[in-house]
Every structure is written in structure tokens, then in C-alpha cells.
């Protein structure tokens, strides 16, 4: 569905090296920006493009940039969120591994627009080989005078620093990331004040993720209006999707927003259908922190309309019958998947990764995990199901950062749509104690809308 605009050069041999990237037009848009445009013009193009944050929240990038306090005498910072820790999401890693100079070019253009002279790339600590790739690319950019003092003979200067994280999922939250950058424990801050006014070192700061900043490059290349014509409605441009699970062709795909979900799952161009000829059971479209939807609801809305890969279409119906595009971590489950086991697995992750600052999240995740474990292991009781719903409700909306919501939504949505599976685990402990019980449980087909 349309040609890629973000990863179109990804198949070129040696493209991660400066010389090859430059030979194929790399840094030409950074050069154009610094020599022929003003910061206001760059901001205007990004705003006109309708680009929304590709890290999960989907907040308009131009609007976020407009909040930056530009009147202060304090330094201003741009922090690139490369702490990609969301289960099911791996598209930023893909970008950094194959197109590191695209990210650097995006950082140069964005920093110029924001009046920033110092930029940090906060990289997930487990991405050791990615850090090496980024370091080499940054060093090359300095050697070729695209970073440092008076870039390309202009008055603009920029330094980029790499900062490896310590492996904490919570540091993907922007204020926890800023705390970590300052050398403190990565606990989220209470907002307001927001980073745009009081961020890194109490200075105005913009935090954007890898894909968002990389997308600034093609926006400057084609213009904001042209970029806005890609996609549909308020979901403009293209989006990288990390597809995994029970599909024939897992991987990273660049789609034009507005692609039907059904086409993405079943077309040969993308996921290639369900593995081993199985039927589709459920999808988590935006990484583990968004609600799961059964097959019928991920393919069609309650109105019977085709569900699209857009922020608005996936959210239609609220959390009763909708979900979120989130970070684009597209996890597909076939008919043999056990939703209780998968929910327990996610809850184990959130219990481990909670920073412990907020008692609803700290105590709630530590409570949900053992309850789910005993249901999964055939030792649960009916009251456990309502207990889980109650705990999730008490966590949601009652924490400093969205981590609490991320921990609650997988549990509440799994029970909302697959309560019969939880009940089956309680009613048939002799079956669920078999490690392969997902394929042994014969749920009534009428209880779920398979494709």
C-alpha cells in the first residue's frame, strides 16, 4: 500500500556507513535545512504534516514542539527515546540497526527547529550491539562536520551524546528517562511541570522517540502538506509496525496509515496469514500495554465497519470494543493460544518492571500476578476473576505515570473478551495442568468470532 518513505533505503548494501548513506542522498535534507530554512519554517512543515508521536501516545509532534519554552535563557535539550522496551515492539531497534544516519539526520533537523545545541540518545541497555552501531555513526557525522561547532559553515552547532540505560522498562516514560539521565533512580515525575518547561537539568526539554525523529527527514524532503496526504484523517503518513506471534511472516513493516487490519494480517505483502493454517483468535495491536481484541472486533467494529490501522479506527468503541495503535507492536494469536497464560505472562513482566513509587501499581501488580498464576495452573476459583477486575480498576488512572494503566489494561481486556477461558481454567483443572493445554481446550466456536 504505497511506497515506503521512511525505510526506502534500508535494502542498500552498506547503508549504515556514512559514505554510502551520503551517496544516496543522505544528509542533503539536513544541509537544506541549515542553509536554506529557518527554525520557524521547519516547525511549520512538521506541524502541517500532522505527524503524531510514534512511541505510543500518538500526540501531535508539531504541537508538542510548540510547548517548548523558547524565551528562557536556559539551555534547551532534545532527548531521543531509544529505550524500546515494550513487549512486542522492535521497530526502533530495526531503524537504528540499519539506518543510524537517518536518525542522526532527523536529530540535526529537529534540534535546529527547536534551538537545541545538545541532544541525548537514551538507548535501551540491552541494545549493546546497537550502541556500537550508533556510536560509529555519530563519530562519522562528527568527522564529516555534520555535528560539532558551526555545522557546514553555518552558525548552528550541535553535540549528540549516547546514554545507555540500565534495562528498566519504566525509563521509557519520558520523565523517568530524564531522572535516569541525571544519574538518579528512574522514577517518573509528577506533572506539571512538564518537560517542555522543566525537563532535563530543570531546563526546557523535548522527548521524542526514534521513529518520530527519523520521520522528520522525509517530511522536510516532501513537505508537510504532501506528507499529510499520506494516510487518512488525523492519522497521517506512514507507520512502522512490529509484527510477531502466530503469523507466517513476522518482521517490521512500513504501512500507510489507513490500511485495513485484515489486509495487514492476511495479505502476502505483510503478515501472510496465520501460521499452519490456523484461525485468528486475537490481536494486541500496539504492544503489550494496550487492550487485546478478539478476532471479530479487531477486523470489524461493532457497527460492522472494517477496522483500519489508524489511531481513530482502533480506538473506536472505547475499551469495551476498541484498543490502541500504541507503539505498533502487533502481536497475533491463533486459535490454540491460551489467553490466561498470555495475560499471566504480561503481568509477570509488569510486576517485575514496576518502579514501586505508586502503591496502586506496586501492590496491584504484585497481587494480580499470583492470582493469575494460580488460575493458569488450575488452582483458581470463580471469585479470583472478579478480584482481578477489581484490582485492575483500582490501578487504572491512579498512578503518576501510565505504567499503571499499561499493567491493568491487558488483564481487564482479557477478562472482558475471554472470560470463558478463565472460567474453563477453574472448571477443568485436570486439563489446564497439561503444559500444552492451549491446543487441548475446545472452546465453543460461537463464543469467539474466528476468521
Q: Are strands 238-245 and 251-256 parallel, antiparallel or unpaired?
A: antiparallel
Q: Would you state the pLDDT for residue 440?
A: 64
C-alpha separations of 251 from 44, 90, 209 in Å = 34, 9, 20
Give the residue among 322, 303, 326, 338 at the shortest CA–CA distance from 416: 322
pLDDT band at 446 (very low <50, low <70, confident <90, very high): very low
- CA dihedral of 105, 106, 112, 117, whole degrees rounded to 10: -80
Give the count of beta carbons closer than 10 Å to the beta carbon of residue 211: 26
Summarised one tens digit per residue, pLDDT across range 198-245 is: 999 999 999 999 999 999 999 999 999 999 999 999 999 999 999 999
Cα–chain center distance at 284: 12
State phi, psi for 6 to the nearest 5 degrees. -100, -40
Q: Would you state the pLDDT for residue 439?
A: 65
Q: Would you state the pLDDT for residue 2?
A: 65
Cα–chain center distance at 397: 20
Q: Would you state the pLDDT for residue 434?
A: 75
Summarised one tens digit per residue, pLDDT across range 313-348 is: 999 988 889 999 999 999 999 999 999 999 999 999
Is the C-alpha dihedral spanning 273, 276, 279, 282 positive or negative? negative
Summarised one tens digit per residue, pLDDT across range 194-211 is: 999 999 999 999 999 999
Q: Which residues 6+ apart lie within 8 Å of 334 measured at CB?
A: 245, 246, 274, 275, 276, 278, 279, 280, 281
48 has pLDDT over 50: yes
Span of 68-77, 166-175, 393-402, 426-435 with lowest mean pLDDT: 426-435
449 has pLDDT over 80: no
Q: Would you state the pLDDT for residue 10?
A: 93
Rg (C-alpha) for the chain, rounded Å, is 23
- What are the beta bridge partners of residue 82? 123
User: What are the chain's domains?
Assistant: 18-229 (3.40.50.11540), 232-334 (3.10.20.600), 339-447 (1.20.1440.230)
- Is residue 43 within 8 A of residue 66, CB to CB? The reply is yes
Q: Output the 3-class SS for the chain.
A: CCCCCCCCCCCCCCCCCHHHHHHCCCCHHHHHHHHHCCHHHHHHHHHHHCCECCCCCCCEHHHHHHCCCCCCCCCCEEEEEECCCCCCCCHHHHHHHHCHHHHHHHHHHHHHHHCCCEEEEEECCCCHHHHHHHHHHHHHHHHCCCCECCHHHCCCCEEEEEEECCCCHHHHCHHHHHHHHCCCCCCCCCCCCCCCCCCHHHCCEEEEEHHHHHHHHHHHHHCHHHHHCCEECCEECEEEEEEEECECCCEEEEEECCCEHHHHHHCCCCCCCEHHHCCEEEEEECECCCCCEEHHHHHECCCCCECECCHHHHHCCHHHHCCCCCCCEEEEEECCCCHHHHHHHHHHHHHHHCCCCCHHHHHHHHHHHHHHHHHHCCCCCHHHHHHHHHHHHHHCCCCCCCHHHHHHHHHHHHHHHHHHHHHHHHHCHHHHCCCCHHHHCCCCHHHCCCC
The answer to pTM > 0.95 is no
Q: Which residues 6+ apart lie within 8 Å of 38 measured at CB?
A: none
* Burial class of residue 332 in the structure, from the number of CB atoms within 10 Å of its CB (0-12 exposed, 13-18 middle, 19+ buried): buried
State how far the Cα of 268 lies from the Cα of 54, in Å rounded to an integer: 25
* Percentage with pLDDT > 90 across the chain: 89
* Bond before 192 cis per omega within 30 degrees: yes
Q: Which residue has the higher pLDDT, 435 or 181?
A: 181
State how far the Cα of 328 lies from the Cα of 110, in Å rounded to an integer: 23
Q: Would you state the pLDDT for residue 450?
A: 47
445 has pLDDT over 70: no
Q: Would you state the pLDDT for residue 303?
A: 86
447 has pLDDT over 80: no
130 has pLDDT over 70: yes
Q: How many Cα atoms within 13 Å fall on the side-chain side of residue 437?
A: 22
- Is residue 143 within 8 A of residue 96, CB to CB? The reply is no
- Is residue 196 within 8 A of residue 69, CB to CB? The reply is yes
- Is residue 123 within 8 A of residue 171, CB to CB? The reply is no
State how far the Cα of 95 lies from the Cα of 16, in Å rounded to an integer: 10
Summarised one tens digit per residue, pLDDT across range 49-87 is: 999 999 888 899 999 999 999 999 999 999 999 999 999
State how far the Cα of 69 lies from the Cα of 200, in Å rounded to an integer: 13
111 has pLDDT over 70: yes
| Greatest pairwise CA separation for the chain in angstroms | 74
- Is residue 125 within 8 A of residue 43, CB to CB? The reply is no
pLDDT band at 167 (very low <50, low <70, confident <90, very high): confident
Amino acid at each position: 500500500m504505497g511506497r515506503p518513505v521512511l525505510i526506502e533505503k534500508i535494502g542498500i548494501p552498506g547503508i549504515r556507513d556514512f559514505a554510502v548513506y551520503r551517496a544516496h542522498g543522505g544528509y542533503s535534507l539536513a544541509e537544506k535545512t541549515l542553509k536554506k530554512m529557518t527554525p520557524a519554517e521547519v516547525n511549520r512543515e512538521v506541524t502541517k504534516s500532522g505527524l503524531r508521536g510514534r512511541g505510543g501516545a500518538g500526540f501531535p509532534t508539531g504541537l508538542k514542539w510548540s510547548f517548548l519554552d523558547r524565551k528562557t535563557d536556559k539551555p534547551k535539550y532534545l532527548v531521543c527515546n531509544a529505550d524500546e522496551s515494550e513487549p512486542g515492539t522492535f521497530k526502533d531497534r530495526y531503524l537504528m540497526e540499519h539506518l543510524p544516519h537517518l536518525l542522526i539526520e532527523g536529530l540535526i533537523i529537529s534540534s535546529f527547529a527547536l534551538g537545541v545545541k545538545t541532544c541525548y540518545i537514551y538507548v535501551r541497555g540491552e541494545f549493546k550491539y546497537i550502541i556500537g552501531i550508533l556510536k560509529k555513526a555519530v563519530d562519522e557525522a562528527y568527522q564529516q562536520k555534520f555535528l560539532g561547532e558551526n555545522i557546514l559553515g553555518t552558525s548552528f552547532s550541535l553535540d549528540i551524546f549516547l546514554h545507555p540505560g540500565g534495562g528498566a522498562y519504566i525509563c521509557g516514560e519520558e520523565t523517568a528517562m530524564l531522572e535516569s539521565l541525571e544519574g538518579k533512580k528512574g522514577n517518573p515525575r509528577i506533572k506539571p511541570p512538564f518537560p517542555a518547561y522543566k525537563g532535563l537539568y530543570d531546563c526546557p526539554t523535548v522527548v521524542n522517540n526514534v521513529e518520530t525523529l527519523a520521520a522528520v527527514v522525509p517530511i522536510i524532503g516532501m513537505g508537510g502538506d504532501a506528507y499529510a496526504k499520506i494516510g487518512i484523517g488525523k492519522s497521517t503518513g506512514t507507520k512502522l509496525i512490529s509484527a510477531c506471534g502466530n503469523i507466517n511472516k513476522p518482521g517490521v513493516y512500513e504501512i500507510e496509515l489507513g490500511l485495513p487490519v485484515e489486509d495487514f494480517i492476511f495479505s502476502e505483502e505483510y503478515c501472510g496469514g496465520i501460521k499452519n493454517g490456523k484461525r485468528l483468535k486475537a490481536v494486541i495491536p500496539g504492544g503489550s500495554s494496550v487492550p487485546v481484541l478478539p478476532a471479530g472486533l479487531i477486523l470489524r467494529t461493532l457497527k460492522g465497519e472494517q477496522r483500519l490501522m489508524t489511531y481513530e479506527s482502533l480506538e473506536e468503541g472505547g475499551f469495551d470494543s476498541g484498543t490502541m495503535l500504541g507503539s505498533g507492536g502487533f502481536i497475533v494469536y491463533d486459535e490454540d493460544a491460551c489467553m490466561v497464560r498470555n495475560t499471566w505472562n504480561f503481568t509477570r513482566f509488569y510486576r517485575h518492571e514496576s518502579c514501586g513509587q505508586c502503591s496502586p501499581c506496586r501492590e496491584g501488580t504484585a497481587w494480580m500476578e499470583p492470582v493469575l498464576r494460580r488460575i493458569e495452573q488450575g488452582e483458581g476459583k470463580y471469585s479470583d476473576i472478579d478480584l482481578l477486575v477489581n484490582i485492575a480498576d483500582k490501578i487504572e488512572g491512579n498512578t503518576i505515570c501510565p505504567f499503571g494503566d499499561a499493567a491493568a489494561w491487558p488483564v481487564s481486556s482479557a477478562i472482558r473478551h475471554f472470560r470463558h477461558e478463565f472460567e474453563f481454567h477453574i472448571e477443568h483443572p485436570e486439563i489446564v495442568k497439561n503444559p500444552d493445554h492451549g491446543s487441548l481446550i475446545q472452546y465453543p466456536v460461537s463464543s469467539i468470532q474466528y476468521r
